[in-house]
Structure 1
Amino acid sequence: MAKSAARVAGAERGYADLRDHIDALEHAGLLVRVKREINKDTEMHPLVRWQYRGGLPEKDWRGFLFENVTGAKGRRYDIPVGVGVMAGSKYICAVGLTCKPEEIPDKWQHAFSNPIEPTIVKSGPVQEIIQTKDELKRAGGLDQFPVPISTPGFDGAPFITAGHWITKDPETGIRNVGNYRGHLKAQDRLGIFPGPGQHVLAHWNKHRERKIPMQAAVVVGPPPVVSYAAVQKVPYGVDEIAVAGGLAGEPIRLVKCQTVDLEVPADAEIVIEGILATDLLEPEGPFGESHGYMHPRMMNPFMEVTCITRKKNPILVSWTSQVTPSESSIIKRVGYEPLFLKFLKAELGIKSVVRVAMHEPLTNLRKVIVVQMKKPTEAEIWRALTGAATFHPGVGKFLVAVDEDIDPWDMDMVMWAISYRSQPHRDTQILRGREAGHGPPFGRDDQPVETRTADESALLINAILRDKFPPVSLPKKEYMENAKKIWEELGLPRLSPKNPWYGYELGDWDEELDEEARLAVEGEYLKNGEKLKGLRKKV
C-alpha cells in the first residue's frame, strides 16, 4: 500500500501525486494498462462500466490507464486517460490514502480533527506549460484533452467528471474545493452544474449579489488526497485543501494561478482557469448522473477559459458516474460514512452510535442511511435518525436504526430487522418540508438550478430491539465452524460467510432450554421427551 518513496522524496513532498499513485496501484495489482486503441467517445467508459454491472465482486474492480486514445473522428491523442484510478474500489482508495481498507474510517477521522493548512510555493509541475491568449487557441484550448463521453448514446458532449472547481467566498476569502461536472461547449467555454446545497453555488450567488463575475480554477489529476477531500460534505467555510493536508500529514503545496486570484495544487496534472459570469446562464446537460437517470438540461453558469496550465506530459483523469456503484459514488462513500459518524458521535454526542452505512447500489448513498447503535435509549434512537436526516440538504430519505448484530451494509439483514423488530404504527416518523436533493423527478421549466422547493419527506424507522427475542435460528457457532472444516475437507466450493452464519441469543432463552439442546446433541434427547411427558395438561 506504500507510495513510491524515492519519487516522492525527490519531489520535496511526502505525499503521492497521481503518477506515484498509479505506480502504487500497479505494484498492488490494481491497475490495468490498456495499450490497444480505445475510442474515448464510444468505448472507454462502457468498458470500465462492465466491472460494476458485470457481477464482479469489489475485490476484482480495477483502475484503467488508457494509453492509446482516439476520438470519434479518428483523432489520436498523446495524452493517456485514467478511469477508476482514484476510486475504482475501496481497495484503490486505500492505496491512495496509504492505509488498509479497514483503516479508512480512522484515517478520515484523524484528518477531520487535524486539518493542516496548505503552503504556497513559487512554482510546480502543473505550470510546466502555460497557455494563454493566442497560445491557448493554437493548442486547441479544452479540445486538446481526450475528455471521454460518459454516457454514449445519451450525453450530448464530453464532460470533465473529475474536475475540482476552486472558488473563494467574496466576503471571507475562504476557499472551496468541490467536484462538479464540466460540460465542454467550446474550446474556451465550460459549463458547470452547481447542484442545490453545493458551496460553489453559494459563492456564485454572493458574487451575483455584488454584480461581479466569479473567478474559478478547475483542477484535474491532483494528488489523490486532494481528490478525496474535494468530494467531502464538510461544513461551509472549511477548506478542503486543509482536510487533504490532514490526510497527507503535511501541508499541500499550492501555486498561484496565472490569470485568476486563486491557488491550485502544484503537483496536479492540469488546471483550467477562467471567469464565470453572474448575470448570464445558459443551457447545460443532459448528463448521466449518479442518481441513476439522465439529469435533464437546465439553465446553469458557465466558465470562459482564460488560461490552461499543465504538465508537459499530463494524464487526464475521468471518473465514471451514472448508475451506482461507480467511481463517483465510491470516492464519496469512503469519506461520507466517517463524516456522518463523526457528526452523530462527536458533535451531537450520541455515544451509542457505532457505525453509519450509506446504501450505494443504484440508490447513490444519499437516499438510504442505516445507523447501527449499541443499547441506545429511545431518545437516542430518534436523535440519531433525525440528526442523520438533517446533516446535509437532500441526504437521507429512508433512515433506519439497527442493533449491533445487524450488519448495516447488508440490506438483507436491514430488511430482516425492519420486518421483525419494528412496528410501523409505533416505530416510524415522517419528516416533511425537506428538499428533494440530487435526483428525479425534475422540473422542465428551465429554472436556475438554485431554485429549491421543500416538497420532499424522509421516513425514519426504529428497528432496534425493544423486547427480548428468541435465538437466531441457525446452529451455534461451534457447530458451524466444525462443519466449515468438513466442507473444506470435501473440496467443496470456497465459502464467503454471510451474516448471520451462526445462531446467537437475543435474551429470550433460559438455562433449561439450553440444557435440553445440550442433551440433544449428546444423543440424550429421549430424556427431554420424558420430562415433557410429565408436563402434560388435560384439555
Structure 2
Amino acid sequence: MTYKNLQHFIDVLEKEGELIRIKEYVDPKLEIAEITDRISKTPGGGKALLFENTGYDFPVLMNAYGSERRMCLALGVNALDDVAKDIESLFHMLSAPKESIIDKLKMLPKLGQFASWMPKVRSGKGECQQVVWQGKDADITKLPVITCWPKDGGPFVTLPIIHTKDPISQTRNVGMYRMQIFGPQLTGMHWHKHKVSAKHFNEYKKLGKKMPVAVALGGDPVYAYSATAPLPENVDEYMLAGFLRKKKVELVKCITVPEIEVPADADFVIEGYVDPNDDLIWEGPFGDHTGYYSLPDWYPRFHITCITHKKDAIYPATIVGIPPQEDAWLGKATERIFLAPMKMTMIPEIIDMDMPIEGVFHNLVIAQIKKEYAGQGQKVMNAMWGAGQMMFNKILVLADEGVKIQNYEELTRYALQNLNPATDIYYTQGPMDVLDHSCNKLGFGGKMCLDGTKKYEEEIDDTYDLENTISEINDDDIIQRFPEIMKVNSSLLQKGIPVLVISVEKNRKGHVQELHQNICQLTEVEGIKLILYVEHSVDAGDLAVALWRFCNNLDPKRDHILVNRPSVRNPNKNFTCMGLDGTRKTKDLDNFQRDWPNIIVADDETIRSVDEKWNRLGLGAFLPSPSLKYKSGVYGNEATVS
C-alpha cells in the first residue's frame, strides 16, 4: 500500500482501531516517553499514540510501529513474511535460465517494475517545503523534540531519516542516527564508525570540505523503516522503499543544500552541514535500545541552515529502553524481510531465523538450517558473522529441522540435547556494536556459537557422558552451601532443559570462576550442561529479565568457564558443564577498565505526574510504570546512572 503522507497512515491506523488520540496536555520532556513506555509494554505492543497537546505547534506520534499489526500496515502487507516471499520470487525469476525469446519477453514486465521502484527527483518544491524557516528562524527548539529518560544528555531526535552523499561517487545513503539538541541550530550527529554516513564524513574530511546533510521526519512510514534496514552500501534505501510501497519515491532538492534530495511528502526537513574541521561535541548519555544508557562520547556537530515543513506537519518520534519497546517490531520486520536475501546469496541452507526480544537485536540470534553434513554448523556460523550487520551478533544458536525455533522451550530442550558443552560451543572475536558495554574495548569483543544441531558421527566425542537425565536439584541446599548465591532457578530442569540460572553476589577476583568450579564438583549437578550466572540484583526466577541482563553483560570469549571432570555416575566418561558469567564487570573484581552503564528507569517525579493525569488521557485502565520493577528490591542497585 502506498501512503500519501504520514497523515494518511494515521487515518488508516485510526480506522483500524490502532490509534489513540491524547488531548490532555503531556510534556515532551519525559512524560511522553513514560506514557509510551507503559503502553508499549502491554500485550501485543498496545496502540499508536497521537499526543495532540504538547505545548508546541505540532502533535507528536509515538509507537506507530509498535506491534506486528501496525508494522504490517506500515509496509502494506498482511504478514511480514509476504515481503520475503516477494523478494524470493523476484530473485528466482531473475536468476532462472532464459532459453528462448519468449522467456526473455516474459522478463519485460518485471524490468518495468524495477523502473517503477527507482526514486525520482522532481522539479519544484515539495509538500515538505510549504513552510520555510531560514536564518535565525531555523530553530529546532520550535519542534516538540522529546527527552526520553532522566539521565539523557538532553532532548534527542529519535526517528531522523538522515541523508548524505559520497563526495566522489555521489551515491546516496539514508540512515537513522539519533541527534541530541544542543541549541537552536546545533545538534550532534551520532553515526557510528561502521556506518556509511561515517564513511562519507571521512571522505569529506580528506577533501577538507563541509559535508551537506539533510534530515527528514515523517512522510510515508516506509521511509523510516528503510532507513533502518541493513542494506548493502550500493543499494539505495529509496529503491527498497519503492519496492515495499510498489511506487517510486518522489524526491525534491533541499533549499540550502541542493546536493541532497529528500522525500517530497516528508513532514519536516532539517537542512545543514557537518564541518570536518569543527571540534567534536561531547554527546550523550542516552537511554538506548539495550535497556542501558549508552555512555557519552565525541561525535560530529550538525549545523542547521534551514528547516522546512508541511502546513499540517506531525512530529514522529520513538523511545528505546528496557525491552519490549517499539523498536522490537522494526527488528522483527528486518528479521523476516532479510531472511530471503541471506538465504539466496550467502547461506542457502538457512531455513528460518529468530531474534528474541530479550536479546535486543544483535546479542542473541537463533538460526535454523537444513543440515546435511558434519561441520555445516560451523560453516553457517562463519557465514552469518560475515553477513552485513550480522557481524555484530554476540550469541548465535543453531538448530536444524527437528524443532520449531519460535517455540523457545522446545528449541532450548532440543538444542541442549544435541549439545556437548566441551565440543559444540565455539568462540571468536570481532566487531561488536559500539553500544555493547560488556567488551573490554569499544566495538570489539567476543562471540559465541552454540551448535544445537543433531550431530553426525564425525562430530561426536564418545569420551563424554551426555545423558540428559538430571538428578533433582535442591535450590535451598545449594544456597546454604554457597552463601554468595542469592537465588537458584532450577525450574528449567523439570522441563527437560539442563540449565541453571544463578544470582550471585561477587566479592573477590575470580569469584564466579571459582564458584562454578565448586558447584560442578557436586554429584547432583551431573547432567546439567549450562549454568548462567547473573548479578545478585537480578531475580534468577524472572527468566525474561535474567536473559536480557545476562546477554547484555556477557563477553562470551572472556566470560566462559568450562569444567571437565570424571563422571561419578559413569566412571568411564567425563562430565562437562559450561558456566557463563553474565554479571556486572568492575575494575576491582574483574579488571574491567571501561565505565559500566546503568539500566534505564523513569524518575519519581515523572511517574507521579503521569499517575495523576492517567484518568484524563483516555488510555483505559491504569497501568503502573514499568520502571517501578527496577527502582526497588533486587533490581535497585543498577537503576541509576553513576
Q: Same fold (TM over 0.5)?
A: yes
Asked if the contact 1:274/1:306 (under 8 Å) is kept, the reply is yes
Asked if the contact 1:81/1:146 (under 8 Å) is kept, the reply is yes
Q: What is the percentage of aligned positions where both structures have the same residue?
A: 26
Whole-angstrom CA distance in 2 between matches of 1:453 and 1:148: 28
Q: Is residue 299 from structure 1 mapped to residue 285 from structure 2 by the alignment?
A: no
Asked if the contact 2:80/2:333 (under 8 Å) is kept, the reply is no
> 3-state SS of the aligned residue for 1:196?
coil
Asked if the contact 1:389/1:397 (under 8 Å) is kept, the reply is no
Partner of 1:212: 209
Q: 2:38 aligns with which of 39, 45, 50?
A: 50
Give the aligned residue type for 1:465.
Answer: K
Give the aligned residue type for 1:98.
Answer: G
Question: Residues 436 and 220 of structure 1: is their aligned pair in 2 closer, same or farther, counting only changes over 3 Å?
Answer: closer
1:499-514, aligned counterparts within 5 Å? Answer: none
> 3-state SS of the aligned residue for 2:360?
coil
Whole-angstrom CA distance in 2 between matches of 1:290 and 1:374: 32
Asked if the contact 2:439/2:446 (under 8 Å) is kept, the reply is no
User: How many Å apart are 1:188 and its aligned residue?
Assistant: 0.5
Q: 1:459 aligns with which of 448, 463, 470?
A: 448
Whole-angstrom CA distance in 2 between matches of 1:433 and 1:213: 33
Question: Residues 37 and 436 of structure 1: is their aligned pair in 2 closer, same or farther, counting only changes over 3 Å?
Answer: closer
Q: 1:347 aligns with which of 331, 345, 348?
A: 345
Q: 1:91 aligns with which of 45, 69, 87?
A: 69
Asked if the contact 1:435/1:456 (under 8 Å) is kept, the reply is yes
Q: 1:145 aligns with which of 132, 143, 146?
A: 143
Partner of 1:373: 369
Q: 2:435 aligns with which of 417, 433, 438?
A: 438
> 3-state SS of the aligned residue for 2:200?
helix
1:145-294, aligned counterparts within 5 Å? Answer: 145-151=143-149, 153-260=150-257, 261-280=259-278, 281-294=280-293
TM-score, normalised to structure 2's length?
0.64
Q: Is residue 68 from structure 1 mapped to residue 56 from structure 2 by the alignment?
A: no
Question: Residues 18 and 368 of structure 1: is their aligned pair in 2 closer, same or farther, counting only changes over 3 Å?
Answer: same
Give the aligned residue type for 1:317.
Answer: P
Question: Residues 254-281 of structure 1, C-alpha deviation per residue, up to 9 Å, x if partnerless?
Answer: 0100011100000010000001011221
Whole-angstrom CA distance in 1 between matches of 2:28 and 2:416: 47
Asked if the contact 2:339/2:352 (under 8 Å) is kept, the reply is no
Whole-angstrom CA distance in 1 between matches of 2:86 and 2:132: 35
Question: Residues 108 and 369 of structure 1: is their aligned pair in 2 closer, same or farther, counting only changes over 3 Å?
Answer: farther
Whole-angstrom CA distance in 2 between matches of 1:454 and 1:263: 32
TM-score, normalised to structure 1's length?
0.76
User: How many Å apart are 1:251 and its aligned residue?
Assistant: 1.0
Asked if the contact 1:274/1:304 (under 8 Å) is kept, the reply is yes
Partner of 2:133: 131
Whole-angstrom CA distance in 1 between matches of 2:443 and 2:76: 41
Q: 2:12 aligns with which of 19, 24, 28?
A: 24
Give the aligned residue type for 1:118.
Answer: P
User: How many Å apart are 1:359 and its aligned residue?
Assistant: 2.1
Whole-angstrom CA distance in 1 between matches of 2:6 and 2:327: 17
Q: How many residues align?
A: 433
Question: Residues 298 and 304 of structure 1: is their aligned pair in 2 closer, same or farther, counting only changes over 3 Å?
Answer: same
Give the aligned residue type for 2:298.
Answer: M
Partner of 1:534: none
Question: Residues 443-477 of structure 1, C-alpha deviation per residue, up to 9 Å, x if partnerless?
Answer: 8xxxxxxxx86741211121112379xxxxxxxxx
Question: Residues 306-349 of structure 1, C-alpha deviation per residue, up to 9 Å, x if partnerless?
Answer: 00010012100001112232223321331244324422x1112x
Asked if the contact 1:195/1:438 (under 8 Å) is kept, the reply is no
Whole-angstrom CA distance in 2 between matches of 1:336 and 1:242: 19
Whole-angstrom CA distance in 2 between matches of 1:187 and 1:196: 26
> 3-state SS of the aligned residue for 1:208?
helix
Question: Residues 229-271 of structure 1, C-alpha deviation per residue, up to 9 Å, x if partnerless?
Answer: 1101111122101111111112101010001110000001000
Partner of 2:356: 359
Asked if the contact 1:359/1:367 (under 8 Å) is kept, the reply is no
Partner of 1:426: 423
Question: Residues 58-101 of structure 1, C-alpha deviation per residue, up to 9 Å, x if partnerless?
Answer: 1x5211001111xxxxxx2121000011x111211100111113
User: How many Å apart are 1:377 and its aligned residue?
Assistant: 2.7
Whole-angstrom CA distance in 2 between matches of 1:311 and 1:370: 43
Asked if the contact 2:268/2:309 (under 8 Å) is kept, the reply is yes
Q: Is residue 396 from structure 1 mapped to residue 406 from structure 2 by the alignment?
A: no
Whole-angstrom CA distance in 1 between matches of 2:431 and 2:183: 37
Question: Residues 44 and 433 of structure 1: is their aligned pair in 2 closer, same or farther, counting only changes over 3 Å?
Answer: closer
> 3-state SS of the aligned residue for 1:229?
helix
Asked if the contact 2:352/2:369 (under 8 Å) is kept, the reply is yes
> 3-state SS of the aligned residue for 1:167?
strand
Give the aligned residue type for 2:312.
Answer: N
Whole-angstrom CA distance in 1 between matches of 2:265 and 2:69: 23
